[in-house]
Amino acid sequence: MKSTTEQDTGLPLDMVIFGGMGDLAMRKLLPALYSAFLHGNLPASTRIISTGRQEFNREAYLAHVSEHSRTFIPKDNFDDKTWDGFLHLLEYVRLDVQQAPDFGALAAASRPGAQRVYYLSTAPSLFTTICEKLAAAGLVDEHSRVVLEKPLGHDLASAIEINEAVGKHFAESQIYRIDHYLGKETVQNLMVLRFGNSILEPLWRAPNISSVQITVAEEVGVGSRAGFYDGTGAMRDMVQNHLLQLLCIVAMEPPTSLSPDAVRDEKLKVLRSLRRPTLADIARDTVRGQYVQGVSGNQEVPGYHEEKNVPEDSKTETFVALRTFIDTWRWSKVPFYLRTGKRMARRSSKIVIEFANPPFPLFPDMPGGVANRLVMELQPEEAIKLQIMAKQPGSGMQMQQVALNLDLQSAFQQRRAEAYERLLVDVVRGRLTHFMRRDELEAAWEWADPIIAGWQTLNEKPHPYAAGSWGPAEAFTLLARDGFHWVE
């Protein structure tokens, strides 16, 4: 089956959200859909059908959305009249996904012949039953699309199980596995920076690049997600998906075109080229951490063990730092350092490309450290900076590092859509490029699973780190022994 877009078919669009009362729907999906509507990026025919088990009539649901979702829309992107128009698009259908007859209510609410996009914003354990029951109710056809939220499995076996189950009813071209990092402007810009310019690409390899760092630091703790998080940990929650996807965009070869498969083929090659570590490599090149009591945002905060629903003896990692290699010509011997954690000093996601220093130290006063770095900041603000050496004004040849700042905010004085909005619009338009293909997802698990198994064999406690810090000391040693340091 080939997926088609509304522009191709002229079909009305029914966007169905499973988990329409949930946290993700309220905080991200509905505000993103509102914003897409405000900026004219939803077809005029759109209807949004939220589903959940609670008994609500339409008015009560709209009131709930106005109370719980509206607050997540930035003030400068809000307009009362448009909000009223947006609410007109919304319906609510009470539906327990375990009950086949409830899907009759959804069939009744959905317009015959509409293009249906199903957003599965529920626990992944419900994905199989949702897809089966949608198909049994005659609600899946060649125009349907399904969006799958993370976590897509707990390991390779469970990811295969989900993929098989969804794949029985939806062709791969109808499946949108979302990773919101791929919707970030800066991440998409990285592809343009690399492949739309000729000055960077010749340098984009060993030995010109000496290391790559990718950090996704969260300031928040596990909060109300502790029950889920304790069975998951940072490797499954963040590294296997978000950090590996970022690594793929940094490391991929130029695709032959921008078609979804051409791009995803290249990302897949990266994942398959990631070095498989031995147990000794895992012990040496990975650091697991767990936060203890500390100060975050000027407030005393509890350690992971004191969080509600965390077992006293939990060994779940809330922090991971690791060194890995991509065994290809381009990246031979270039270390890739990945780091993520909760309760870190501040929310900050960035990619740092560290270039090799000039081969000959011509200037005696050259400061120590790295001459050139390309720093791509993804969170909290998006920015791209190239750190270069410049001569300080005055006599002599004193040098100083300065940043060549790619000021995209000034260059493009236009709104930058939030990642979920951009990705939802991609789904509506049938653009798969920034979504994960099945083989990519499974290749990521193939790499992550043995590391997690290695940790179980080693059976070590995670290293403690104070909440509000940049992680355990061992994470700094990991880079220091190669002559690098984390760029904060």
Residue in 13, 15, 17, 21 binding ligand NAP, rule: CB under 6 A: 21
Cβ-based nearer residue to ligand NAP, 324 or 340 = 340
Query: 413 near 124, Cβ under 8 Å?
Result: no
Q: Is 196 exposed, middle or buried (0-12, 13-18, 19+ CB in 10 A)?
A: exposed
Asked whether the beta carbons of 167 and 157 are under 8 A apart, the reply is: no
CB nearer to ligand NAP: give 116 or 323. 116
Catalytic residue among 242, 305, 434, 463: 242
Sign of CA dihedral 220, 453, 163, 191: positive
Min CB(449)–ligand NAP separation in Å: 19
Binding status of residue 212 toward ligand NAP by CB under 6 A = no
Q: Is 96 in the site for ligand NAP (CB under 6 A)?
A: yes
Measure the CA–CA gap between 42 and 444, rounded to whole angstroms. Answer: 33
Among 12, 31, 43, 52, binds ligand NAP (CB under 6 A): 52
Q: What mask of x and - would describe binding to ligand NAP in positions 438 to 457, judged by CB under 6 A?
A: --------------------
Comparing CB distances to ligand NAP, the nearer of 11 and 25 is 25
* Residue 22 binding ligand NAP, by CB under 6 A: yes
Residues 6+ apart with CB under 8 A from 273: 326, 327, 328, 331
**# residues near ligand NAP by CB under 6 A:** 20
23 binds ligand NAP (CB under 6 A): yes
CB of 233 to ligand NAP, least distance (A): 14
Contact between 124 and ligand NAP per CB under 6 A:
yes
Spatial distance between the Cα atoms of 111 and 443, rounded to a whole number of angstroms:
38
Q: Which stretch binds ligand NAP (CB under 6 A): 14-22, 74-82, 239-247, 444-452?
A: 14-22
Read off the DSSP letter of residue 319: E
Q: Tell me if residue 169 is catalytic.
A: no
Return all residues near 115 (Cβ < 8 A) that are at least 6 apart. 4, 6, 9, 11, 12, 13, 14, 143, 144, 145
CB 402 within 8 A of CB 371: no
Site string for ligand NAP, 132-161 (x = CB under 6 A): -----------------xxx----------
End-to-end CA distance of the chain: 47
Among 3, 14, 19, 247, binds ligand NAP (CB under 6 A): 19
Q: Is residue 98 near ligand NAP by the rule CB under 6 A?
A: yes
CB nearer ligand NAP, residue 216 or residue 352? 216
CA distance 150 to 423: 14
Residue 480: how many CA atoms within 13 Å on its side-chain side?
5
Chain residues that interact with ligand NAP, rule: CB under 6 A: 19, 21-25, 52-54, 95-98, 121-124, 149-151
